[in-house]
Structure 1
């Protein structure tokens, strides 16, 4: 039996420190300690796990309304082209129609469950705000700690969705002040007047 360091084990299996830790906790690989307390791994076990590992790539597309369904299809096509250029083969494709501010999105929550179960190792999206408008760092940490990498292929943002999310925020707060009937009109008026300043 040949023992290797954690660094060498990660290199052999091409995995992160978090994934190696998960393997150990799940009993998939054993750890051995040297007389000085250093952790080592059986190289043959690591090689075996490396052979069992395969990328489970999910593509996620989100648009804010039904009117943007065509844009959702174009988003998905761009993700597929990007994966093809990188020699990646997607195993899952998801399209969701919902606000980026909605924390109860069924498809996104399904994806997070799959990440937790180890069924997704890479999550590819076109823009960061396709996943969430706020708190992306928490979502990224959640995925990374479970062996899933979030890949953002375009760092820019979509102006139309920023406006839509801004309207949703204003409606939420103004409804508490003016009531649900007038809140939407007030929000639209506010955003329209404010956007004119930047045109």
Structure 2
């Protein structure tokens, strides 16, 4: 259980923060940038939920919980030591990726195939889904960059890759099942 009875601690005033294993690192480290951007994705999902309803809101709620799991995973390095820890850290698992894939497939079954790229926009919810998508892609790039230097749970990378696809398809669903998608017209303003 998490207990937060004091919000400011002053321990980060010199530009460092503690990871999940207690190690202190610079706030600009690859790992902190990665999980910080995952937190940013979660905030964009919170904004999207202000206009989402029904099943879409339920799925977004599950994604927000997953994103906290992902942040917990990314803030705890040294995966090879997980089995030795008294309390193993929370790690992303394949079932979370599989759920996203099932949801993508179910949403995509309602859509006509794309014949053009689409512009971010349309309905308010679709615009929010595209914002979520682009921030998720940035988070994915940062996690992949981290994985080039340090061990990262492969399920974390897969989850972010699938998540941005999920937001893309959800944006089309939010545009009246793709009927209100804003199509890109190449060279339209030449």
More strand by proportion, 1 or 2? Answer: 1
**Which protein shows a greater Rg?**
1
TM-score bracket relative to the smaller structure: under 0.3
